[in-house]
Amino acid sequence: MTGGKGISSFSVLLIMAVASFIGIVCMTRLNVQYVPPQGNNTITVSFLYPGASSRVVEAEVTSRIEGALANIRSCTGIESTSYDGAGFIEFSMDRKADMEAVRFEIASSIRNMWNSLPEGCYYPSISLNAHGTRTQTAIAYFITSSLETREIADFVNERLVYPISSVKGVSSVSFYGYTPYEWVITFDYDRAAAYGIQASDIAGSISDYYREDVVGMVRNGDYTYAVKLKNDSKEDFAEIPVKNAGGRVIRLGEIATFSYQESVPRSYYRINGLNTLTLSVDVAPDVNMISVVDEVNEKLSEIQIPEEISIVVGYDSSEYVREELDKVYLRTALCLLILLLFVFAVNRSWKYMTVIAITLAVNLLVSVALYFFFGLGIHIYTLAGITVSLGIIIDNSIVMIDHWTRFRSRSVFPAILSSVLTTVAALLVIFLLPESERANLVDFSLVIVINLCVSLLVAYLFVPALLDYFPVDRDAFHSSVRRLRRTVRRNARYERYIFWGQRHRLLLVLLFIIVFGLPTVLLPEKFGNEKTAPLKPYEKVLNKIVGWRPYASNKDAIDALLGSTFAVFHQAISHSDFYREPSRPELVITASMPEGCTVAQLNDVIKAMENFLASFDEIETFQSSVRSSTAATIGVLFKPEFENTRIPGRIKREVVDVAKDFGGANWNVTGIDNNSFSNDIVSKYKNSGIVLTGYNFDELQRYGEILIDFLGAKRRVSGPEIWSGDGDFLPKLEFGVNYDFEKLMANGISPYSYHQSLYSPLYSSTVLSLPENGEYIDVRLESSSKDKFDVWNVDNTAVQTGEGKMKLSEVGEIAKQRSSIVIMRRNQSYSINVRYDFIGNAVLAEKTAEDAVKYMNSEILPVGYHAEKDNYSWFFDSKEKYVGLILLVIALIFVICTVHFNSLRAPLAIIWMIPISFIGVFIVFGYTGFNFDNGGFAAFVMLSGITVNAGIYMISAWRSYRRNLPEVRRYVRALNIKIWPIFLTVVSTILGLIPFLFDGPRETFWFSFAIGTIAGLVFAMIGFFLYLPVFACKKR
């Protein structure tokens, strides 16, 4: 017995057994995680330039570093951001780049150009991230003790942080809740002014007193040593000399007091509202979180912890990952069980089902070995690919088993090969998507491709070899005479339908168009731009069509009528979240206070909300983060048993009611459902925006002002202003001094001298950090009068300027104004975002934005500048790209079918099944309100590949059937033979997807993929029976 040409069946079985054993070994070494890592390689250069505005930072530092590093090898993109006093530059590198070598190259370039950077700029730091920026908090520990917080902090930093950080896979260990101490030097402003001492004099004296300078180099033998100059005095702050006044040295102790105290918290972080010390462990996105958390717990158990300190787990995200993966494993196992039971129910043969189970097991085990060698891990998307491919793998086995049992021949293999190639071609198109959009689908498609390629090997070699040793009956049951008579009658009716359809092909095409729809909704209002380039002849023709007055004036209604199911689908997905990530249902509460309030004030408000949340037993954890006076967030997670109930929605409504009663704070409540709440009547967020890009920032801002004037003339547009390029950073409000320069000159005062006069009474800044007991302690200098000078006092208090005193109100005014914006640049192109609020519906908002973009691009902006809508809707921004990819898939499938059949008629008939299957997707998402995410797009891709399989099997069987019969009768007879294998392949695929519908529409990716594929397959069967024979067979 032979399993292949020149290969015995025994040899084939032995080779497959060895390959399966290798798969079992590799299975234990696969990386298991919840979601796939983001595989972008980036290097970030960050720096500080205290006191400099974003414009100065960009011009003096960011641009210079960018220019010096522009020719770094393997760099694929550069993005920079310049803030007030800081900035960073992110370099995107090629996947194959040697990141350590690139880092060394960047460090060398920065070292060479360091002297060209302005004085006051800190030396840039370089951070390497070879796995993307999405880290995740894996576990957090609560630390309580009767000891002082400083002693606890010392213990954590010395005994816990390093051992835990050394665990492979841990990206960072953070310690929250401990407020460090600092030295506060408060100088008496009036006494210092009496001696003629300014705040800058005191700050300079303190810095000089503790300053260390390298004054030269000396050689001693073969070694070179640096010569440092520093003050070796052990005297305290009080003895620091400040200034010589009247021949006497004024020391700091004469004009200042000193205190060692906890610094003012700049942020707060709590879990479940507890003011405990928290040790938070973050893991890299490409590691097995479960195993890392286990190793961290094991490492912690090995450390001797004093009896006075208690450490308990406060939050463990790996528990959720375990539960979710267990749920996915269960669904995959349930899918497998349903498929095998279905095979048994149809064939009523344990032997047949056993053969299917063995081939499936061998296929998966060999594939697992390939996963390991290709570096694929196990996460929800690879598990989705495995589950989806189960039905197709079984399909290939069923077809080969049926054909081998009947004919003892592999002649059906070309049909199996073509059907697999169509699916593989469809999946590989995913790699043409932009990296950000294909991130989650790459592993999904690779797993299916690997499984299907292995299934070809199994179908060609293993199935015949296994059947030689383990034969199955050709038919599980024999047809009765009554069943044969019914088959004859059905055949006759089906032949009559085919003849009727051949005579009325145009009617069938018209029926398809009516149901599918004409995609006129995708037509623009105008083709081409005659101001930038002359219109082409076809553009003129198209403009006459879309500009036809009856159509143009009723475009929405006509598009809805002509678009049919496609138009409904197009409208529905405009409200879908295409990029949603799999995560637990989370209630997100954000709060802010007006500018000028303190972090402590916002923290008090957050505490009140925490007290309310603590009253709900259904809540598992809530994490609070107060980052500034304008940014605080509470993330609320519910216990698993309540997540899919109405309780989270009820708690959300109660949170909204409580937020309404809090005065002074702006609240936003989102998550759980599609509804959101905001009481921010003076919102910092604006609902619309237009992005301008160009190579000159000053010119870009000027064009932004022109756009503001254009938008300001619109009655429905409110408050247009220029923000940062990504629309996330708005100019902050700050008090600015506007001088009357004529009055200043008349009084002999310069703006600089008056500014210096205000500088000392309002001074408060950290001047240096001193080493003490193995750590650095900040030293902060502040004026005794800083809290006395409010806006009124600044405006009306006379301050010493030169030889006299003067009030600000006499020579100017103080008023609130917007500060400079964050400057963003990508690949040498600056960007700004003109944000505005639009009052009206989404259609009018879209029309207004389109008019503004058209105005700027056609009438204002020169070459090198561009305007576009700041629109986060994936479909409206990329519809041509996605439609083009689907058309490319169809074209590839057509080429494969043409090569296989050596004909054009059969491939064209088979291709009909793809758009017919899309009708099912249009209907299920257009009329149900289900969210269309990347699982829905994956359904389109999969349908393009698998719907044609039935047609390929059918046409192959028909062309090889008795050629002495008429075409239609030969087709119907061949259908009688192939109907069961084809029926099994389609139904098995549908049944394999049913378990993924159990968790409902909230389930990310799984639900939209399953419901879209099932609906598409159902409609594909309509195309298989009603359209395929009509267009494949020639007319009589």
Confidence band, pLDDT 50/70/90 cuts, at residue 799:
low
* Residue 1014: per-residue pLDDT: 92
Q: What is the mean pLDDT of residues 593-599?
A: 75
What does the pLDDT read at residue 874? 44
Distance of CA 423 to the CA centre of its chain: 27
- Closest by Cα among 599, 585, 589 to 633: 589
**More confident position, 1006 or 747:** 1006
* Residue among 450, 461, 447 at smallest CA distance from 359: 461
| CATH superfamily entry for domain 41-129 | Multidrug efflux transporter AcrB pore domain (3.30.70.1430)
Task: Say if residue 18's pLDDT is above 90.
Answer: yes
Least confident of 15-19, 532-536, 846-850, 877-881: 877-881
Q: Is residue 402 predicted with pLDDT exceeding 60?
A: yes
At residue 130, does pLDDT exceed 50?
A: no
Query: What pLDDT, on the 0 to 100 scale, is given for residue 131?
Result: 39
Confidence of residue 509 (pLDDT cuts 50, 70, 90): very high
Mean pLDDT across 167-185: 79
Which residues neighbour 604 within 8 Å (Cβ) at sequence distance 6 or greater? none
The tens digit of pLDDT for each residue in 266-296 reads 778 787 877 667 888 887 766 777 888 888 8
- Give the span between the Cα atoms of 606 and 634, in whole angstroms: 8
Place 841 in a pLDDT band, splitting at 50, 70 and 90. Answer: low
Q: Which of 188-197, 496-505, 569-578, 1020-1029 has the lowest mean pLDDT?
A: 569-578
**Residue 805 contacts residue 758 (beta carbons within 8 Å):** no
pLDDT at position 451: 92
Whether residue 1 contacts residue 408, with contact meaning beta carbons closer than 8 Å, is answered with no
Please tell me whether residue 847 adopts helix, strand or coil conformation: helix
Greater confidence, 534 or 436? 534
Q: Which of 51-65, 358-372, 373-387, 864-878 has the lowest mean pLDDT?
A: 864-878
Q: Side chain identity at 980, as an amino acid letter? A: W
Domain 486-516+878-1036 top-level CATH class: mainly alpha
Taking residues 677-706, what's their average pLDDT?
A: 80
Give the confidence band of 876 by pLDDT, cuts at 50, 70, 90: very low
Residue range 217-228: mean pLDDT, rounded = 72
Choose the most confident range, by mean pLDDT, from 50-59, 65-74, 501-510: 501-510
Which ranges in the chain are annotated with CATH 3.30.70.1320?
A: 688-731+822-872
Confidence of residue 132 (pLDDT cuts 50, 70, 90): very low
Question: pLDDT confidence of 500, banded at 50, 70, 90?
Answer: very high
Q: Give the percent of the chain with pLDDT over 90.
A: 8
Give mean pLDDT, residues 834-852: 79
Using a cut of 0.95, tell me whether the model's pTM lies above it: no
Residue 15 pLDDT grade (very low, low, confident, very high; cuts 50, 70, 90): very high
pLDDT above 90 for 537: no
Confidence check: pLDDT of 920 > 90:
yes
Per-residue pLDDT, 506: 92
Length of the chain: 1036
> Looking at the predicted structure, is the pLDDT value of residue 875 above 50?
no
Per the CB < 8 A criterion, the answer to whether 602 and 629 are in contact is yes
Distance CA 750, CA 965 (A): 106
pLDDT score, position 6: 59
Contact 572, 533 (CB under 8 A): no
According to the model, what pLDDT value does residue 689 have?
86
Residue 11 has pLDDT above 80, yes or no: yes
- CA pair distance 950, 944, nearest whole angstrom: 12
Angle, helices 697-712/842-855, rounded to nearest 10 degrees: 130
Question: What stretch(es) of the chain map to CATH 1.20.1640.10?
Answer: 1-30+349-472, 486-516+878-1036
- Average pLDDT rounded to a whole number, residues 547-575: 83
Q: How far is CA 824 from CA 80, 83, 129, in A?
A: 6, 9, 21
**pLDDT tops 80 at residue 629:** no
Which CATH number does 688-731+822-872 carry? Answer: 3.30.70.1320
Span(s) in the chain for CATH 3.30.70.1430: 41-129, 586-678
What average pLDDT does this structure show over 790-797? 70
**Could you tell me which residues come within 8 angstroms of residue 888 by beta carbon, excluding any fewer than 6 positions away?**
429, 432
CATH class of 586-678: alpha beta
CA torsion, points 381, 386, 392, 393, in degrees to nearest 10? 160
Looking at the DSSP bridge assignments, the partners of residue 764 are 782
Query: What's the pLDDT band for 512 if we cut at 50, 70, 90?
Result: very high
Q: Which residue has the tokens 């004909």?
A: 903
Extract the tokens encoding 361. Answer: 């097991």
pLDDT at 935: 80
Which of 90, 91, 71 lies closest to 81, judged by CA?
90
Residue type, 554: N
Categorise residue 487: left if φ over 0, alpha if ψ from -120 to 50, beta otherwise: alpha
Q: Out of 570-579, 743-752, 905-914, give the one with best mean pLDDT.
A: 905-914
Q: How many CA atoms lie within 13 A of 513 on its CB side?
A: 9
User: Is the separation of the CB atoms in 312 and 142 below 8 Å?
Assistant: yes
Q: Rounded to the nearest 10 degrees, how much is the dihedral formed by the CA atoms of 848, 854, 857, 858?
A: -140
Residue 86 phi/psi, 5° resolution? Answer: -165, 170
Average pLDDT of the chain is 80
Summarize the confidence of residues 114-141 as an average pLDDT: 70
C-alpha span between 84 and 635 (Å, rounded): 29
Q: What is the pLDDT of residue 798?
A: 66
pLDDT of residue 359: 92
Q: Give the pLDDT band (50/70/90) at residue 476.
A: very low
Query: Please, what's the b/e burial string for 465-490 (b: 16 or more CB within 10 A of its CB; e: otherwise)?
Result: bbbbeeebeeeeeeeeeeeeeeeeee
Q: Is the pLDDT of residue 608 over 60?
A: yes
Fold of the domain built from segment(s) 1-30+349-472: Multidrug efflux transporter AcrB transmembrane fold (1.20.1640)
Copy the structure tokens of residue 412.
Answer: 């059906």
So what's the pLDDT on residue 718? 83
CA distance 722 to 115: 34
Q: What is the pLDDT of residue 666?
A: 83
With CA atoms as reference, report the closest residue to 897 among 886, 906, 889.
Answer: 906
- Highest mean predicted confidence (pLDDT) among 25-39, 427-441, 598-612, 757-771: 598-612
pLDDT at residue 536 greater than cutoff 90:
no
Which pLDDT tens digit goes with each residue over 959-990?
877 677 788 888 888 888 778 778 877 887 88
Is the pLDDT score of 675 beyond 70? yes
* Mean pLDDT score, 812-824: 74
Q: Choose the weakest-confidence range: 747-756, 829-838, 1009-1018.
A: 747-756
Residue 135 has pLDDT above 70, yes or no: no
- pLDDT-based confidence at residue 735 (cuts at 50, 70, 90): low
